[in-house]
Amino acid sequence: MLRRFLGSAGRPKSVNDTAADHADHYAQTATFSTDADGQAWTPPTWEEIVSTHSGRVYRLAYRLTGNQHDAEDLTQEVFVRVFRSLSTYTPGTFEGWLHRITTNLFLDMVRRKQRIRFDALGEDAAERLPSREPSPQQVFNDAHFDADVQQALDTLAPEFRAAVVLCDIEGLSYEEIAATLGVKLGTVRSRIHRGRSQLRKALAHRSPEARAERRSFVPRVPALGGGGASA
């Protein structure tokens, strides 16, 4: 059932196609119904959880893992964990709970792969998702930029990648990221600073200066013919 919902969610179209784009919708579904005193709450059904949150979780999972296969597997794990843990959930910000579960399961997945000496995070570089922006003038550049961003994210250490994705793509505050990752605020700042620094280096070829330098470079072509020796 879950993979059917994921099929309708699709891949993220660009780095800006994130849960933040749907903030108004999710703000209305961040918590589930309570009684008049706000003491009791009605647990959502499996269908309600998946239909409401599958797109958001999948987009985060895709940015963390960098490929569709791992993103689908991670999303599946998240909702299995959510359903098993629902009885212990304290009503509040449901999206924050999902962020925490998704990120922690991602880091667990990376550690498992490292233990068996198998790292699949960079294998799909040739199949990175291109952007599908409708503007004909921007589609080529946007598509390649989005692929570059995802590939650059994949080069970061998992801890740096999680912090940068949660901050710069999901829009969480430093305090929210610290709570999600279970680390100190200073650690969050350090990971984001170092992650952004590495991203800038990885994306240096996309900077205006680099593009201007490429445009100004004119290769020297040797003259052909007309060079015979005079008598």
Structural domains in the chain, CATH included, are 2-211 (1.20.140.160)
In this predicted model, what pLDDT tens digit does every residue of 194-227 receive, in sequence order? 999 999 998 887 666 655 555 555 555 555 555 5
pLDDT at 24: 39
Specify the amino acid at residue 24: D
> In this predicted structure, what is the pLDDT of residue 202?
87
pLDDT greater than 50 at residue 95? yes
User: For the whole model, what pTM was predicted?
Assistant: 0.62
CB environment 17-44: b (16+ within 10 A), e (fewer): bbbeeeeeebeeeeeeeeeeeeeeeeeb
- What's the pLDDT score for residue 128? 40
Which tokens hold the place of 87? 């009885």
Residue with tokens 């924050």: 96
SS3 assignment for the chain: CHHHHHHHHCCCCCCCCCHHHHHHHHHCCCCCCECCCCCCECCCCHHHHHHHHHHHHHHHHHHHHCCHHHHHHHHHHHHHHHHHHHHHCCCCCHHHHHHHHHHHHHHHHHHHHHHCCCCCCCCCHHHCCCCCCCCCCCHHHHHHHHHHHHHHHHHCCHHHHHHHHHHHHCCCCHHHHHHHHCCCHHHHHHHHHHHHHHHHHHCHHHCHHHHHHHHHCCCCCCCCCCCCCCC
Q: Among 13, 20, 16, which Cα is nearest to 170's? A: 20
The pLDDT, as a whole number, for residue 210 is 57
pLDDT reading at 103 higher than 90:
yes
Check if the beta carbon of residue 32 is closer than 8 Å to that of residue 44: yes
Condensed to tens digits (0 to 9), the pLDDT of residues 151-203 reads 889 999 999 999 999 998 889 999 999 999 999 999 999 999 999 999 999 88
